[in-house]
Structure 1
Amino acid sequence: MPETASWDLGPDSRLDISVAHIARVYNYWLGGKDHFAADRAAGEATIGVYPGIQQSARANRAFLARAVRYLAETEGIRQFLDIGTGLPTANNTHEVAQAAAPDSRIVYVDNDPLVLAHARALLTSTPQGATAYLDADLRDTRKILEQAAGVLDFGQPVAIMLIAILHYIPDLGEARDIVARLLAAVPADSFLVVSHAGSDLFPDEIAAFEKNLNDHLPGDTHVARPRGQVSLFFEHTTLLEPGVVRVSEWRPETAEEAERPTTLWGGIGRK
């Protein structure tokens, strides 16, 4: 049988459908079905001031798939720690990784009860590999690493996936410390994958976009950053070519992917 692990959610008072959650808003931007009225209101408010956010979300998802495929096929990575998973959709990390290498082991991390419930139901593994999902906040790196160690071998290279999540840590110093702690726990030849909202990619719309989004997200604050600050997350790694670029320009597979508009910088670094 496939090896799949989870932690019992039980009744969870955090699932308040009257307020928006970014995982469900992102699902709405992607055209998914796992969202409620508050999430749709937040999604529409942001689309109203920046219609390109839907294309940007799709470009980000495509970047994730290309990054995982590259790491599994070219770099031989067999372990992935995907923090800030979001709701399952097409080309999830384990699907891409295990299509390339069936023995890949993936741990998903999120703190939204709906995300975890969907993950438990939908994110199953190949017989050769493993898929697990745990309930934790990005800031609680100790909990993430301790629980992930039940599935991942931190003596072997790991790909740390931080896709569109660091811009919800408003303090740059704290965000950099989180990345440093995660990288300190993995060996050489591990990888860091980051995508992050770029304040210099859509400067005319960013203030209105962030205000509308943050007004609807009482528990989160979205802070876009310029490319130079996003590059700081890779300070303990060696950046792979082409460096920190628009996510649609990171080794695109088609001209359509390369031309897709995006609000996010992205890159991959090797420890």
Structure 2
Amino acid sequence: MEMEKRLTLELRNKKPGEVKELVLDNCRSEDGKVVGLSSDFENLEFLSMININLLSVSNLPKLNKLRKLELSDNRISGGLEVLAEKTPNLTHLNLSGNKIKDINTLEPLKKLPNLHSLDLFNCEVTMLINYRESVFALLPQLTYLDGFDADEQEAPDSDPEADGDALEDEYENGEGEEEDDDEEEDDLDEEVIDDEEDEDDDLEGEEEEDGVDDEEEDEEEDGEEDEEDEAEDDHPCGQKRKRSLEDEGEEDPEDEEDDEDD
């Protein structure tokens, strides 16, 4: 796809002045130059033109608000003075995979005072002796070269503002987790209370059953005592007692009742 057609698709009926980010990766540029872009993209902050067979950035329009420019995997070998003229507020520049061979080719970048990140991966210049020391000396405004600072400390993956947003999200999620934990604790407390109530009900049921059993046992014991009394009257010992009373001259109450009848 040609660069101009790709640019029309990316606009999606927007006006150039409304666009802040523009990605034109993997399209074909005519004659190895930037085509279709104009100074009407006055609010553009991020521009990516990766692998579009770009030979030069000479046709790049004036983009005062541009902060990040991706130009990796092209065939750029020089002419970087255009960047200092057309993108004066650039902070990130990626030239990885281009045809840059000499340190002096990077000298025009000294005129970009806000440039603090430069990538030159897979460029021949990275094979030079003392390459990193030379680039940091040439461009003192740089903080990161190929993703590392002068002390070999790796650059963060995101900017501080994004990190701050991520921390806020984590804090909000943490609060949500605490609320969930409180709800779980409340549920556990309710379950414990329910279990205790069930245990109390079981104990009351057992006590009632014990009371019924005790009453039944008392009734059985009373019945057994009555049976024992009746058995004593019929027992020979009871008859013997009756005879002993007759021998002593005492009349049995039943005999007295018979005499009275006579």
Q: Same fold (TM over 0.5)?
A: no
More strand by percentage: 1
The TM-score with structure 1 as length reference comes to 0.26
Which entry has the higher C-alpha Rg, 1 or 2?
A: 2
More helix by percentage: 2
